[in-house]
DNA sequence: AAACAAATGTTGATTAACAAACATTTGTTT
DNA sequence: AAACAAATGTTTGTTAATCAACATTTGTTT
């Protein structure tokens, strides 16, 4: 009668429980030290439920990353909705939304930032950020002698730098403050 | 294979979701204004699941109250475990644990304290508190001319007074501070 | 009072999650 | 190297939770 697993509440809830459990465990130890048994215990879910959806714990982590990246994309694109005029300014407006996104997933970002084993995920985030910025930049007319792809990459990694520092300081600043910092920095290094 | 509903994770989780949803809704409107539909929506649970366990929303609320009262009893009895010497001092040690309990269920207590329709539940809490104190008092030898049942009731309602004020001030004090307040008050009105 | 929408309660088919038992693998201790 | 515990996958029967459709009741608007 209903064969669409992803919209089944039970599936959704089980997966969320497993992901929350993994996040929580990753705050204490690294992935190899974590067992499937520990995950299902923390998630309060039967072992069989885990193996119904995933083969290894790595697969769970991967889906977790996918989720966050999808939310990153959502957060970034949200201010660009409804065919508004796209410009370099939009690029900055969107960048600001990213701080909200990072704060929302603070636990996740802290884990991947502070883990040596998970550096691969950092670069994946960076690449995604760059891609998003390039997307905006493609729809913009040239500005005096700047290679826009370079600009996109430049700014993506710059923002990642802000985020890294934010994380390393244990989120002691608010997302709004971080946005203001970005705007202030942009004001100094103006390219228009 | 397993026929014990109460230890089934699915049951436990569904009920918790429904209770949390009800608490959350009661913060906005009173019970009559809340529909079963709203509850199951907020709980992210199918309507059928609700009707599997409860007939009306009132039944859900009742079970919620039962849960809290059971936890109140647990909290109170915990320091009295393992046949420790029971005395009037224990009565105070236990009273302190109650503040932790109330803080843990802050949302619940706020709702029943601030609702006119739910005054019946307040007196139920008070009675339970009195019963618990009487229980301790029964195992204690007399102290100079004090009717111990009166003492139990006196103190139970006194503590409820503290809790009421605590709630009315939106929990602006910590549980520890409340404990200290209680101890200080007891120090002034010493009966030994 | 008729039409309407919203909430209620019920039903049936489907399946994800469950407990519990199992054999297997891994890794440590004796 | 044998004994041991712990973690890993797998399996089976059972059922709570799910979706979706339905008839009914309630309450509001026209």
Residue nearest to nucleotide D8 (CA to C1'): A36
CB A155 within 8 A of CB A103: no
For residue B84, pLDDT beyond 90? no
Q: Provide, as residue numbers in chain B, all residues whose Cβ is less than 8 Å from the Cβ of A45.
A: 9
Q: Could you tell me the pTM of the whole model? A: 0.79
Nearest to B175 by CA among B89, B101, B71: B101
Give the mean model confidence (pLDDT) for residues B4-25: 89
Instruction: At B57, list the tokens.
Output: 């929303």
Query: How many degrees, rounded to 5, is the angle at CA B176 between CA B171 and CA B182?
Result: 90
Separation CA A171–CA B65 (nearest Å): 38
Q: Could you tell me if B13 lies within 8 Å of chain A, comparing CB atoms?
A: yes
Summarised one tens digit per residue, pLDDT across range A129-173 is 899 888 877 777 666 566 777 878 878 888 899 999 999 999 998
How far apart CA B157 and CA B123 sit, in angstroms, is 10
Q: How far is the CA of A1 from the C1' of D20 (A)?
A: 8
Pick B155 or B100 by higher pLDDT.
B100
Position A85 scores a pLDDT of 56
Asked if residue B44 keeps its beta carbon closer than 7 A to nucleic acid strand D, the reply is yes
B123 reaches A (C-beta below 8 A) = no
Alpha-carbon distance of A38 to A16, in angstroms, equals 16
A45 touching B, CB under 8 A? yes
Residue-wise pLDDT tens digits, B93-142 = 777 789 999 999 999 999 999 888 788 888 889 999 889 888 877 777 66
Name the residue with higher pLDDT: B156 or B138: B156
């Amino acid at each position: 009668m209903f064969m669409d697993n992803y919209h089944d509440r039970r599936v959704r809830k089980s997966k969320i429980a497993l992901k929350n459990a993994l996040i929580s465990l990753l705050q204490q130890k690294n992935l190899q030290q974590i067992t499937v048994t520990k995950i299902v215990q923390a998630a309060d879910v039967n072992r069989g439920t885990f193996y119904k959806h995933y083969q290894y714990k790595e697969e769970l982590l991967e889906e977790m990353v996918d989720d966050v990246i999808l939310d990153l994309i959502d957060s970034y694109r949200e201010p660009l909705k409804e065919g508004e005029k796209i410009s370099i300014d939009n690029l900055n407006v969107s960048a600001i939304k990213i701080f909200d996104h990072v704060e929302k997933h603070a636990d996740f970002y802290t884990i991947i930032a502070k883990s040596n084993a998970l550096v691969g995920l950092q670069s994946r985030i960076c690449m995604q950020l760059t891609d998003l910025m390039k997307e905006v930049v493609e729809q913009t007319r040239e500005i005096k002698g700047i290679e826009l792809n370079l600009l996109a990459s430049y700014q993506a990694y710059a923002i990642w730098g802000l985020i890294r520092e934010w994380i390393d300081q244990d989120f002691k600043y608010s997302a709004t403050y971080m946005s203001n910092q970005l705007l202030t920095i942009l004001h100094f290094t103006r390219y228009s």
